[in-house]
A and B are shown apart, each in its own frame.
Chain A
Amino acid sequence: MSAATTSACLETLLGSRPQAPAAFASPTLGWLGRLRADAVERVGALTVPTTRDEEWRFTDISPLTKMAFHSVRTASHLQASDVERLYLEEAPTRLVFVDGAYAPGLSRPAQDGGVVVTSLAGALSAHAASIEPHLGRHAEFSGNVFAALNTAFLQDGALIVVPRNKTVAEPVHLLFIATQKDAASHPRCLVVAQAGSEVTLIEDFVSLQDEAYLTNAVTEIALAEGARATHVRVQRDGGQAFHIANCAVNLAGSSRYRSVAVALGASISRYNLDVLQAAEGAECTIDGLALIAEGQLADTHSLIDHAKPHGVSRQLHKCVVGGAAHAVFNGKIIVRPDAQRTDSSQSSRNLLLTGKAHVDTKPQLEIFADDVKCAHGATVGQLDSEEVFYLRSRGLSDAAARNLLTYAFGAEIIERIPVASLRHRLEQTVLERTTAKS
């Protein structure tokens, strides 16, 4: 792809950027204006990556450069009755974004007991002290054109602030709905969990249409000393969609981050998850599932950065690949010289359902400390023939046995989602998909 096409693509995307609100020039919000300006500058300096870039070796994003996506300015006409079925009964607090724009009529923000779940734009002044130290500080954009592009658009988003020692009992649902062809949206999410607090967050990307569009999301999660967060991410974008997302997590001492990310949709998707264990005794558990078929491509790049001692990380990433689909997993783990007594394990397990399905999996360990425990492994295979025979010997047909085993392979990750209604829906989706592919 030529430099000209890539810059044209970025220009088109950037060209649809709405004017920043006047307030961003004010002394109190000047930092935000500068952040956006820096990001615009970076977009200008960077190009859309190609397969010659090490980080994009297996993922050819060039189809994106042939599209003319632009951000949408028309307000959504969606009614609650159009989207109610997407709500989760366990999560009464909900922020809904339609084609990237906050939809107050569909949302149920919360502001009680100091817990803030609201649109970022409306909270900038009131919660500046929580926002400024974190927004744009964790998700590095100097070398990442998509994070830069998202930041250039930064104006609104989802804000979750959990005060000290507060436990948010019910999960918070962030629902991103795509409704328009050729729309580009840049969802932004900031989660600030103060010391000893606890929260569960569900990011849920869905589409009500089948045409092409672009989702380019950035999420930042900052956990203070001893805070705990569970982060569920479900990408069920439309079959023609491009989904690119960057999530940066910063863990203070003894904090704990659990994440389950499920990728089902999009034509091409890429999820970068960067977790920094910035202080002693932080823990993270990162699980992922990509279940794809036909010509889909799903790429997950994770980075767990053990910067300080006594950190723990656990990672299980699974791909179920059918049709002529292509899954990519790159799991990087850095153990820095300071991070003695790190305990890390990573497993990448992949199931190929057809001869044309393809997976590239690459565990990448960079260990600079000597007193550490790090285990990693990767498997790529087909269904176990002994398991198939066991089920057949109990009367299940060959197809039923294979479907059940394929389902089970994916269900191991789905089961880790602590929200029953979402889990059941996804189990149903996985069941339908695995049955359809026999």
Chain B
Amino acid sequence: MICQDSKTLLEVRGLRATVNGIEILKSIDLTVKSGEVHALMGPNGSGKSTFAKVLAGHPAYTVTGGTIRYEGASLLDLAPEARARAGLFLGFQYPIEIPGVANSQFLRLAYNTVQAQRGKDELDPLEFDDFVREKMKLLGMNPDFLDRSVNEGFSGGEKKRNEILQMALLEPRLAILDETDSGLDIDALRVVAEGVNRLATRDNAIVLVTHYQRMLNYIVPDYVHVMGAGRIIKTGGSELALELEARGYDWVGAELKAAAGAAA
């Protein structure tokens, strides 16, 4: 929800980033305040996922210009783990499989690391087990997934649920969900979306990175941004997503070009 007096969580200005020497983000400006849900849309290759990874601090990407401020302080100097502990969460488009690490062990380690950072009590395996099972219930997840290796052999939908489970455990202030809807069937999409909605509060914010509009039927965004060629080229309300669904992305770029032409 948009509240006039809520504080700014994320402020991105003129952000440029490269991977392997190729510039992917060409100048991004975005402001996210607490309580808001933003959808970041755009065609493949427009830089959506790169932007998400840069925010989380992926070491393969180099920031070459601009600023990212998170709760008033620069994010760029923070290691990925420091960003996570500060309350930033990236839900992965392709969650990583880690054979040999039990999901329960991984979830507890992550949970306790963040708890310790917040000066709260860590949970021992037994306490954590009770706690995580409650959270899993809300996402319709089978507790068997605790005993399996992290994401190993999980279906696409199970992996995404596991991501939202992590979000539920870590209670981030800013969650960036990268194509959480891809690979989900309609039922799984609804369950995952309900899970996300339940986690949305006045004090946190969510950025949904998505290619399609369908997830936005369940999680209604306050703002929809369209990315093209490494920039945000259009911003609107939730109705913009419907228009994109109906008309595709090409017209946004054409409109921008026309406007640029008129100005010249």
Contact = CB atoms under 8 A, between A and B. Distances in A.
Interface in A383-404: 384-387, 389-398, 400-401, 404
Contacts of B60: 385
Contact of B100 (A398, A400, A408): A408
The residue among B56, B113, B117 with the most chain A CB atoms within 10 A of its own CB is B113
Interface residues of B, number: 29
B73 interface: no
Interface stretch (A116-124, A305-313, A409-417): A409-417
A87 interface: no
A122 B165 CA distance: 61
A433 to B, nearest CB: 15
7 contacts: A393-B80, A393-B83, A394-B106, A398-B79, A398-B81, A404-B106, A405-B101
A328 to B, nearest CB: 23
Nearest to A412: B100
A390 B101 CA distance: 13
Lowest 6 A-B CB distances belong to which pairs? Answer: A408-B100, A394-B110, A395-B113, A390-B96, A392-B80, A395-B84
B54 to A, nearest CB: 12
Interface in B91-115: 92, 95-96, 98-101, 106, 109-110, 113-114
Interface of B: 56-60, 79-81, 83-85, 89-90, 92, 95-96, 98-101, 106, 109-110, 113-114, 117, 149, 166, 170
A392 B96 contact: no
A329 interface: no
Contacts of A384: 96
Interface residues of A, number: 25
Nearest to B85: A395
Contacts of B81: 392-393, 395-398, 401
B164 to A, nearest CB: 13
The residue among B83, B89, B109 with the most chain A CB atoms within 10 A of its own CB is B109
A386 B80 CA distance: 12
A391 B114 CA distance: 12
Contacts of A401: 81
Contacts of A415: 100
A407 interface: yes
A411 B100 contact: yes
Given A395-B117, A398-B79, A404 B101 contact: yes
Given A389-B80, A395-B84, A407 B95 contact: no
B44 to A, nearest CB: 20
A386 B96 contact: yes
A396 B113 CA distance: 7
Contact of B98 (A387, A395, A410): A387
B79 A394 contact: no
A13 B185 CA distance: 70
The residue among B56, B85, B101 with the most chain A CB atoms within 10 A of its own CB is B101
Contacts of B100: 407-412, 415
Contacts of B89: 393
A397 B170 CA distance: 16
Contacts of B98: 387, 390-391, 405, 408
Contact of B113 (A394, A407, A409): A394
A35 B227 CA distance: 81
